[in-house]
Amino acid sequence: MADELRIGLQELLRKAQIEGNTDFLKEGVRVLSQMLMEMEVEEHVGASRHERSPGRIGQRNGYRQRSWDTRVGTVELSVPRVRDSSYFPSLLEPRRRAERALSAVVQEAYVHGVSTRKVDDLVKALGMEGISKSRVSELCEELDEEVERFRGRPLEGSYPYIWVDATYLKARQDGRVSSVAVVIAVGVRAETGEREVLGLDVGPSEDGAFWVSFLRSLVARGLSGVRLVTSDAHRGLKGAIEVVLQGASWQRCRVHFMRNALSLVPKAAQQMVGATIRTVFAQPDSGSAREQWRRVSDGFGVRFPKLSGLMEEAEEDVLAYASFPQEHWQKIWSNNPLERLNKEVKRRTNVVGIFPNEESVIRLVGAVLSEQHDEWQVAPRRYFSAGSLAKLERKEGIMAEQPELVAG
């Protein structure tokens, strides 16, 4: 790479001396920048172009053209692309994708005349005074391309555990402001034990048809091997899981269940009731957990009959986690892993307040999720260890050999 750079610069120097090339400096910036991006993307994917290497962690996917405004004029660059959209040249844009997406959303709101004084102040703080509509369109188009590539990427391998949830944001639709549902799915890849953002979508509400469409889109992209889906008890979502992910168990989020349970008892008794139910989740094995659940449910029968009835009805769903390796219990028995991600989405989107349209919601939320996805891929620790995932595989093998155990 160093030799190629030297040869390129020597050729430019020759042209400047012999032909009097007045674009020598601009062309020098282009060549140097191009070489820097090549070096950066090689380090990013762990291999040179066309190199077969065991250390490779990504695949290149051609180039896209990008105009770069510099002090020596506009330089046309060929920006390397990576299949999972995880690479962006550091020399072109110092801000991260989510920050650029936030800028684009605020700019779009500003240009469309829907800004408030708060948004005006934010635009100035970001140094975007006097931005043109054409520049907004260029920035939005660039971000949309990245987000759509991330949303549509193939899902390879199996994902034994997935978490799904929805959060609500406000956006303008047909001249009025309304709430839109942003649905997100996160999974753990069996081969690596790493978390991945599997997908997101935006719709008018969390009805069953929307959830079915969303889950089917994940399957169409390659989602497979799902053994357990953790979510709240939304009827439309639960029905969609049964229709699309047949064979997968459903884990009713214990945190959401606890909220439902405590709403059935007087406030003065909630602390005692909560502590009693939580004794179930402290049990060391599946049998003990089920015995304790029934013991607690029967104990509430006289004083809190509605709570007792809820526990009898929800036993299988809330204790679904107990059929999986104990090392996984704390991470699969609730939607907490996804709730933390939703909080980050809310933190970023609260700055906007009201989005100008649904496309801008996908742009910003997609960029935030893409950013988090990339951080998970380079995290020093796996979400689940290889040893615990091996236990899951062994258990599934035993169940496959003894179908009567499944029926029981």
Q: In this structure, what token pair is assigned to residue 123? A: 């635009």
Least confident of 67-71, 111-115, 250-254: 111-115
Q: In this structure, what token pair is assigned to residue 401? A: 């050999």
**Which pLDDT does position 403 carry in this prediction?**
42
Confidence of residue 221 (pLDDT cuts 50, 70, 90): very high
Top pLDDT among 27 and 153 is at 153
- In the chain, count H helices and then E strands: 16, 8
Kindly tell me if the per-residue pLDDT of 175 is higher than 70: yes
Least confident of 21-35, 160-174, 208-222: 21-35
Task: Parse the chain into domains and list their residue ranges.
Answer: 1-92, 161-359+370-407
Kindly tell me if the per-residue pLDDT of 34 is higher than 70: yes
Instruction: Give residue-wise pLDDT tens across range 106-153.
Output: 555 544 444 445 555 555 555 555 455 565 566 667 778 888 999 999
CA-nearest of 160, 158, 134, 162 to 67 is: 134
Determine what percent of the chain is predicted with pLDDT higher than 70.
75
List Cβ neighbours of 351 (8 Å cut-off, separation of 6 or more).
102, 106, 122
d(CA 222, CA 158) in angstroms, rounded, equals 9
Q: How far is CA 171 from CA 174, 343, 360, in A?
A: 10, 18, 9
Determine what percent of the chain is predicted with pLDDT higher than 90.
41
Query: What type of residue sits at position 137?
Result: S
Least confident of 84-93, 173-182, 337-346: 84-93
Mean pLDDT, residues 147-160:
92
Q: In terms of DSSP bridges, do strands 228-231 and 161-173 run parallel, antiparallel, or are they unpaired?
A: parallel
Confidence of residue 408 (pLDDT cuts 50, 70, 90): very low
Q: For 46-171, where are the alpha helices, taking DSSP H only?
A: 97-111, 117-125, 133-151
